């Protein structure tokens, strides 16, 4: 009987269908946004691949915190509010849009995107989205497929710690 319980626990803990939240498989991309440091990290292949500076919400409540899913991606996104086409230098969304489902939205309200104002990066200035330099969002875009989990938090913890806590980085035993 004890061996059966051990096997059952092993299946439960290492199952990709984790009942207590996300359990990305090693090698699955995972994005972390830390509002405290205004940085975005891409975790892939069981390690932190890159960290880039970002701009986040003017106030703490504007960029929602939690674990979300990337649901929309667009190259040269259209900016509906001011009727500015993608690729236009006046477009505040920059060159890429990586949208996620925060606050029960469909990925078209909150996202990681480029900017036409590079001086805003590293500051708390947005209305809720996460801004990156166009070059940074361009390079991350291909490594973040639809369905990727994104964690948005405000913490002193390192990206390594957060990756380990959320199963995106597994330490060898």
Q: How many Cα atoms occupy the beta-carbon half-sphere of 85 within 13 Å? A: 2
Tokens of 34: 């830390």
Exactly one of 40, 98, 129, 168 is catalytic; which is it?
A: 129
Question: Measured between alpha carbons, how far is residue 51 from residues 1, 32, 107, 120, 152 in Å?
Answer: 47, 9, 23, 17, 14
Residue 123 to residue 160: CA distance in whole angstroms? 23
Of 35, 73, 96, 113, the catalytic one is 113
Residue 147 near residue 72, CB atoms below 8 Å: no
16 is catalytic: no
Known catalytic residue: 166? Answer: no
- Give the C-alpha distances (Å, rounded to integers) separating 61 from 52, 54, 124, 126, 162: 22, 16, 11, 11, 21
Q: Would you say 36 and 13 are in contact if contact means Cβ atoms under 8 Å apart?
A: no
Query: Which residues are catalytic, by number?
Result: 113, 129
């Amino acid at each position: 009987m004890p061996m059966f319980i051990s096997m059952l626990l092993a299946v439960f803990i290492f199952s990709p269908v984790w009942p207590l939240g996300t359990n990305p498989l090693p090698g699955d991309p995972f994005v972390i946004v830390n509002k405290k440091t205004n940085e975005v990290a891409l975790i892939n292949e069981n390690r932190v691949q890159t960290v880039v500076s970002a701009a986040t919400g003017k106030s703490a409540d504007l960029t929602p915190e939690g674990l979300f899913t990337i649901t929309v991606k667009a190259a040269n996104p259209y900016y509906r509010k001011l009727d500015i086409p993608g690729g236009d230098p006046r477009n505040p969304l920059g060159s890429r849009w990586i949208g996620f489902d925060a606050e029960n939205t469909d990925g078209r309200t909150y996202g990681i995107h480029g900017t036409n104002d590079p001086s805003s990066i590293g500051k708390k200035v947005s209305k809720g989205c996460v801004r990156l330099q166009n070059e940074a969002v361009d390079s991350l875009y291909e490594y973040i497929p639809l369905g990727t989990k994104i964690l948005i938090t405000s913490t002193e913890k390192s990206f390594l710690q957060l990756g380990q806590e959320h199963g995106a980085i597994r330490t060898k035993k």
